Amino acid sequence: MTTIPRNQHLLSIQQLNNDQIYQLLSLAKRMEIPEERPSFSGRFAANLFLEPSTRTKTSFHMAERKLGFDVVELAGMDSSLTKGESLQDTLKTLAAVGVDLAVVRQSQVGGLRGCMDGLDMKLINAGDGCGEHPTQSLLDLYTIYEQFQTFKELHVCIAGDVKHSRVARSNAYALRQLGAKVSFVSKPQWQDPSMAGVYIPMDEAVESCDVLMLLRIQHERHSTYEKTGGYLEAFGLTQEREARMMDHSIILHPAPVNRGVEIDSALVECDKSRIFRQMTNGVTMRMAIIEAVMKGEL
């Protein structure tokens, strides 16, 4: 059985150097032009999502269809994982029946790393628990680059449930590697010592950051339900705080957005917000990622 080289999957943002990231940004720009897109007609992609998803799952489906793939959609309840089959055997089954690319979301940090040996199929990590979300990070980078045309010396503040956020982890790593300054805003119990960085008050962040990246509370990863009363006033983006942001600053959020919790509802679609632009860019960037993975260019 053929085994795909480990570096030809996309499992972590940490496997990419700066040149590869800029290559993907350039490729994503090209994907905006339909005539520039490659065709993978006759190839099969499977989206296996074992945790809930709207944006990531739908944008991968759209990206795959725009590139000509036949698409197989699978959820946990649709697969033999419910019968005790291992994730590795599920993926080997998909490869055995002719699937060329599997996009997988699952809850175990690093859970795909043990599934690659003997696997003749490309893999993309669509989120692994609290671990990483490399494709979300890349579409966020694309959205930032679209605005500023650089990362060097930008101040990006990531605000919210940092400890439980795979988005925060992937973005903090990539942004620092690209030369940005990264700070955090978070409740003390949601701070993560493994992500070295300065924690600052939200009132300081809004006046100094070029990019404010908001995160939702990851209720599904807490042992008890976190109360949200008073969160917006203490740690969220209110209209008063938004008014103090610099004119060129932008607001990002990986979504789903909890309006009135991490951000005032009126600000979700304000002039500084790029929240829905991120979703549009998600399709474009995921087309670029798929092309690079399928052609072994990572």
Asked whether residue 201 is marked as a ligand-binding residue, the answer is no
CB 120 within 8 A of CB 95: yes
Asked whether residue 30 is marked as a ligand-binding residue, the answer is no
Burial environment of residue 290 by CB neighbours within 10 A (0 to 12, 13 to 18, 19 or more): buried
Asked whether residue 166 is marked as a ligand-binding residue, the answer is yes
Task: Tell me which fold the domain 135-275 belongs to.
Answer: Rossmann fold (3.40.50)
Asked whether residue 56 is marked as a ligand-binding residue, the answer is yes
The fraction of the chain above a pLDDT of 70, given in percent, is 94
CB 166 within 8 A of CB 158: no
Domain boundaries, the chain: 6-132+280-294, 135-275
The pLDDT value recorded for residue 2 is 54
How does pLDDT run across 98-130, given as a tens digit for each residue? 999 999 999 999 999 989 888 999 999 999 999
Q: In what order do the strands lie in the sheet with 44-49?
A: 70-75, 44-49, 101-106, 122-128
The pLDDT value recorded for residue 194 is 85
Q: How many residues does the chain have?
A: 298
The crossing angle, in degrees rounded to 10, of helices 134-148 and 55-66 is 80
The pLDDT value recorded for residue 143 is 99
Residue 217's identity, in one-letter code, is I
CB 102 within 8 A of CB 112: no
Domain 6-132+280-294: CATH architecture, name and number where available: 3-Layer(aba) Sandwich (3.40)
The per-residue b/e assignment along 244-272, b for 16 or more CB within 10 angstroms, e otherwise, is ebeeebbbbbbbebbeebbbbeebbeeeb
Q: What is the Cα–Cα distance from 131 to 145, expressed in whole angstroms? A: 24
Q: What is the Cα–Cα distance from 128 to 109, expressed in whole angstroms? A: 5
Asked whether residue 216 is marked as a ligand-binding residue, the answer is yes
Q: What is the Cα–Cα distance from 162 to 217, expressed in whole angstroms? A: 9
The per-residue b/e assignment along 79-110, b for 16 or more CB within 10 angstroms, e otherwise, is bebeeeeebbebbbebbeeebbbbbbbbeeee
Residue ranges in the chain whose pLDDT is less than 70 = 1-7, 218-227
Asked whether residue 83 is marked as a ligand-binding residue, the answer is yes
The pLDDT value recorded for residue 1 is 47
Residue 120's identity, in one-letter code, is D
DSSP, collapsed to helix, strand or coil, labels residue 32 as: coil
The crossing angle, in degrees rounded to 10, of helices 275-294 and 55-66 is 50
The pLDDT value recorded for residue 117 is 83
